[in-house]
Structure 1
Amino acid sequence: MNTAVSATRLIPAVAVPEGAGVTVHRTIGTPALRNYDPFLLLDHISSNNPEDYIAGFPSHPHRGFSTFTYIIDGHMAHQDSMGNTGDLGPGSAQWMKAASGVIHSEMPKQENGLLRGFQLWINLPAANKLDHPEYQEYSAAAFPVVETPDYRLKVLIGHFADAIAPIVDRITDVSYLDVQVKPGKHFQHRLPMENNSFLYVFEGDGQLNEQMVPLHSLVILESDDHSFDFVAGKTRARFVVVSGKPIHEPIVQYGPFVMNTREQIDQAMKDFQSNNFVRDRAWIKRDKK
């Protein structure tokens, strides 16, 4: 594998208060990286201090995009205005295509202990922004794991080698991997040439072709053939690798509304204020494990 990667774009995470006062580590969605088509936001929650997360994310709207929530430690309860409820426990994940409109809440189900996880916002093309909402929730056991002497990898969206995740994104072809690399060992991977891709380190550190990548840092993966070689540091490294097909359309965002024009944003606000925001009940899919 040719691993000549240009890893010049390194984005340190910024602590941001979100929801009712939850502290998140944000990389995409900051002044340093407003968006990375098709990705609109990446938040990382990681704290064993309840004051950082106990307030949670009370009821709030989304329109025009999808969210992917991955809980690593702790519990998060989901509830929405259409009557759907869920419990995201350790290793579980939720894919919610808000599209035409969803109002939901995400609240911690614990008062003490470690809470860790990610939320990724993924844009939708103009043709799909007012689609019917969809909701999928899967337990940790639903996601395939690939283990080698050098690394352990969990496939959350898309596929890796012969391992296929239960969540497949047919619009922007997103793939999402949780990778743990042993001390001093390598993880090599090639991503689709047409995609925009990034890596975010949330445990340990390492090097991407001799460039140091510290903890809580996002690296834009750029190379001639979209391949890379990550070497873990003296402890181990854990990171997510995310890739998606860019949409190449205008992005007009106002908080939780992401559309293509200012007029569409104004309409979303009017719909929300007039109680006409939720148009369709989400299709719900859960694994039985």
Structure 2
Amino acid sequence: MFMQSQPQQYRAARVVRIVRAIPANAGAGVTLNRVIGSDGLPVLDPFLTFDELRAENPLAAMPGFPDQAHRGFETITYMVRGRLHYSDNKGNTALINAGELQWLTSGSGLVNSEMPEQVDGEIQGFQIALNLPAAAKMQPSVYRSFAADDVPAVIFKTAEVRVLAGRYHGLIGPITSPVTDPFIVDILLKPEGDATLPLPDGYQSFVYVVDGTVAIGQSLVSRGQAAILDAGNVLKLAAGQGDARVLVVSGRPLNEPVVRHGLFVMNSTQDIKQAFTDYQNGLF
């Protein structure tokens, strides 16, 4: 099923690598499923991290992410189940519920807290960290949040697509960052359903399987795995005998050096040292 017109120079995207999410500890003892930002895949330019927070045990402890200092990058947070309590030292507070988005540009410096909360014993959410170019790292921090109704969706016979960022099928997602120009869609596939969608030329793209199994060309990708794609500009997805859910993510590479320490992401060691100095002097 083609969901919109194909590019004139059609090149089917192929899987060059499959990466399995691995448990990673973050914040105050939170266990995440991490695909990007691990030893196996430290960076996938422009993406610094890709994490899934998922718990289905109502008795599981749900610590969070108390005050943390950031500089030099952006994060996009998408809640699927449960909710996230947010606050920062700029006076922003928010409650991000299921289906809602948060877009944070840390810029020159920000200290924030993100505390997840289960609803009906469940929580699931995703956070993507995107690098900022050197020229934009010291811009003022900006916080934005979007209600579920702000996220456009289109329903087809065998699939439903929510557009979180970028443009798709005449819809424009609420996140439209000009720097890395992210394209992010959440796709629900019915059993044996299929979907075809264009990918931006020259961008880095990957597909994360949230549930079920999907075929991309000759490759089968299952829950908790990410398929790293080549430079193809058309993506074909096919579900197996059960429902499947995937996040398709693309972004414009920056091709700049990445030096990071904790949540400071800069271009040089000197920049990192300056970030520590500024934070210690109360300049965030």
TM-score class normalised by the smaller sequence: over 0.9
Aligned to 1:270: 277
Structure 1 pair 6/109, CA: closer, same or farther in 2 (3 Å)?
A: closer
Query: Which residue of structure 1 lines up, in the alignment, with residue 265 of structure 2?
Result: 258
Gap change, CA 1:148 and 1:168, over 3 Å in 2: same
- 1:239, CA displacement in angstroms? 0.7
| CA drift at 1:150 | 1.3
Q: C-alpha offsets along residues 175-210 of structure 1, whole Å, 9 cap, x if unaligned?
A: 110011111111111211111111100111111112
Q: CA deviation at 1:82?
A: 1.3
Q: Distance in 2 between matches of 1:20 and 1:261?
A: 28
- The residue identity in structure 1 corresponding to 2:129 is W
Deviation of 1:97 (Å)? 0.5
Matches within 5 A, 1:207-226: 207-223=215-231, 225-226=232-233
Q: 1:51 to 1:171 in 2, by over 3 A?
A: farther
State which drifts further: 59-68 or 111-120.
Answer: 111-120
CA distance in 1, matches of 2:175, 2:208: 20
> Conserved in 2, the CA contact under 8 Å of 1:38 and 1:172?
yes
RMSD: 1.5
Cα separation, 2, equivalents of 1:193 and 1:68: 22
The one-letter code matched in structure 2 to 1:269 is: F
Take 1:99 and 1:25, find their aligned partners in 2: how far apart are those partners?
Answer: 26
**What's the CA shift for 1:274?**
2.5
2:126 match: 118
Determine helix, strand or coil for the equivalent of 1:241: strand
Structure 2 residues not aligned, in runs of 5+: 1-5
The CA distance in 2 between the partners of 1:5 and 1:134, in whole Å, is 34
Structure 1 residue matching 2:274: 3-state secondary structure: helix
What secondary structure sits across from 2:242 in the alignment?
Answer: strand
TM-score (norm 1): 0.92
| 1:244 corresponds to 2:243 | no
Identity %: 37
Provide, for residues 98-147 of structure 1, a one-character-per-residue CA deviation record: whole Å limited to 9, x for no partner. 01011000012447611000000000000000001111101111110011
Alignment of 1:90-109 (within 5 A): 90-109=98-117
Contact 2:46 2:130 in 1 (8 A): yes
Number of residues of Structure 1 aligned to a counterpart in Structure 2: 276
Out of 4, 23, 28, the residue aligned to residue 15 of structure 1 is: 23
- Give the equivalent residue in structure 1 for 2:3: none
DSSP 3-state at the match of 1:270: helix
The runs of at least 4 consecutive aligned structure 1 residues that moved more than 6 Å come to: none
Q: d(CA) in 2 for partners of 1:254 and 1:221?
A: 28
- CA separation in 1, counterparts of 2:212 and 2:63? 28
Q: Which sections of structure 1, spanning at least 5 residues, go unmatched?
A: 279-289
Matched, 1:55 2:70: no
- Pick from 136, 142, 145: which aligns with 2:144? 136
- Per the TM alignment, residue 8 of structure 1 is displaced from its structure 2 partner at its CA by 2.6
Identify the residue that residue 167 of structure 1 maps to in structure 2: 175
Decide whether the 8 Å contact of 1:48 with 1:112 is kept in 2.
Answer: no
